[in-house]
Amino acid sequence: MRAESVAKFLGVAAVVVLLPGVYLGLVWAPPDALMGNVQRIMYVHFPSWLATGAGYLIGFVASVLYLTRREPRWDWWAEAGIEVGVLFNCTGLLTGSIWGRPTWGVWWTWDPRLTTTAIMLLIFAGYLVVRAFVEDPEARARVAALVAIVGFADVPIVYFSVRWWRTLHQPQSSPETVDPEMVVALRVMFLAFLLLFGYLATRRYLLARTRWETERRLLELEAARG
Amino acid sequence: MDNVAFLAGAYALAFVGIVGYAWSLNRRLRRARAEAEALSEPRSEQR
């Protein structure tokens, strides 16, 4: 029941922070001098990547812990983190594509940042597919953990791609180079998306735990029938 | 004016996606709990 209470708290907190965050981003913060109002997409685009990173990092750490300790709860956390990470990876890519059309003139380009990000989405969507195809719970958790650990190698490549290669995508901004009001709006949205991520990941963890308990009970019943 | 449509589209897509996922997650969790409860019922009857 503890995870349930944490999820409820995170859900309420996410809504409480998200509402003023959206107001700050859409109304209060000034428009960009060059891009105008369309730059306000940043307040959902950038926090989406923060939540994606959080999800994949949890997936990676929990997978390492599963392989070393073999406790099912780490597998539940890995699955939860990665599935919610995939959701935010999709919102990040979609909002980026919509932002790219009026600013770069294209919906998509095979730029190193965009390409490595698309590969990252495919890797972690593949993780979810692998889980769906392995029936034995222990084998599933083991194989999935390996996929998550190997797949996580793409995450730092995505982060550093804008520094390592010449790309259309801008490198990471620093708060010193951005209007202070934009920084405030962005930080509030960061917090809102992290809370939102926490709410969804905790609910997803509860789902994984419930399914695992059902699977275990079914195995017990099968064994009892002989 | 066009740019505002892009802005609205980006916010709408992001939040529809997140809310849609949250809704589907709640439904899956409810179903999984009902399934778990149904499995535990025969055991309590046996006792």
Q: What is the pLDDT of residues A100-118, one digit of tens each?
A: 999 999 999 998 999 999 9
Q: What is the predicted pLDDT for the residue at A8? A: 95
Interface membership of A195 toward B (CB under 8 Å)? no
Torsion angle of the four alpha carbons A69, A157, A198, A135, in this order, in degrees rounded to the nearest 10: -50
In chain B, where are the structural domains located?
Answer: 1-47
3-state SS, residue A32: strand
Please name the residue of chain B whose CA is at the shortest distance from the CA of residue A99.
Answer: B6
Taking an 8 Å cut-off on Cβ atoms, the answer to whether B7 and A40 are in contact is yes
Instruction: Determine the average pLDDT of the residues in A120-144.
Output: 95
pLDDT band at B47 (very low <50, low <70, confident <90, very high): very low
Q: What is the pLDDT of residues A4-25, one digit of tens each?
A: 999 999 999 999 999 999 999 9
Q: How far B23 CA lies from chain A's nearest CA (Å)?
A: 10
Q: Nearest Cα to A52, choosing from A142, A130, A116? A: A116
- Rounded to whole angstroms, the Cα distance separating A161 from A143 reads 28
Q: Which residues of B touch A49 (CB under 8 A)?
A: none
Residues 6+ apart with CB under 8 A from B17: A87, A90, A91, A94
Burial of A107 (0-12, 13-18, 19+ CB in 10 A): exposed
Strand-pair partners of A36: A32
Separation CA A59–CA A80 (nearest Å): 8
pLDDT in tens, A64-114: 999 999 999 999 999 999 999 999 999 999 999 999 999 999 999 998 999
Q: What is the pLDDT at residue A143? A: 97
Does A210 sit within 8 Å of B36, measured CB to CB? yes
How high does pLDDT run on average in chain A? 93
- Report pLDDT for A23: 96
Query: Do A98 and B21 count as a contact with CB atoms less than 8 A apart?
Result: no
pLDDT of residue B3: 84
Q: How many CA atoms lie within 13 A of A157 on its CB side?
A: 13
pLDDT of residue A187: 96
pLDDT digits (tens, 9 = 90+) for A137-160: 999 999 999 999 999 999 999 888
Amino acid making up residue A115: T
A209-215's contacts with Cβ under 8 Å and 24+ in sequence apart are: A209/A3, A209/A73, A209/A76, A210/B29, A210/B32, A210/B33, A210/B36, A211/B32, A212/A72, A212/A75, A212/A76, A212/A137, A213/B36, A214/B32, A214/B35, A214/B36, A214/B39, A215/A137
What residues make up the domain containing A144? 2-225
Give the phi and the psi of residue A35 in degrees, each rounded to 5: -85, -20
Check whether A222 has a pLDDT greater than 50.
yes
State whether A22 and B11 contact (CB < 8 Å).
yes
| Domain total of chain A | 1
Query: Which among A44, A206, A210 is the nearest to B11, CB-wise?
Result: A44
For residue range B5-36, list pLDDT tens digits in order: 999 999 999 999 999 999 999 999 999 999 99
Residue A160 · residue A44 · CB < 8 Å: no
Look at A94 and B4 and tell me if their CB atoms are within 8 Å: no
Calculated CA dihedral for residues B9, B14, B20, B23, nearest 10 degrees: -140
- pLDDT of B46 over the 60 cut: no
Q: Between A99, A207, A217, which is nearest B39 by CB?
A: A217
Nearest residue on chain A to B18, alpha-carbon basis: A87
CB-neighbour burial class of residue B33 (10 A; exposed 0-12, middle 13-18, buried 19+): middle
Cβ–Cβ below 8 Å for B25 and A102: no
Among B7, B41, B43, pick the best mutation site for testing chain A contact (most A Cβ within 10 A).
B7
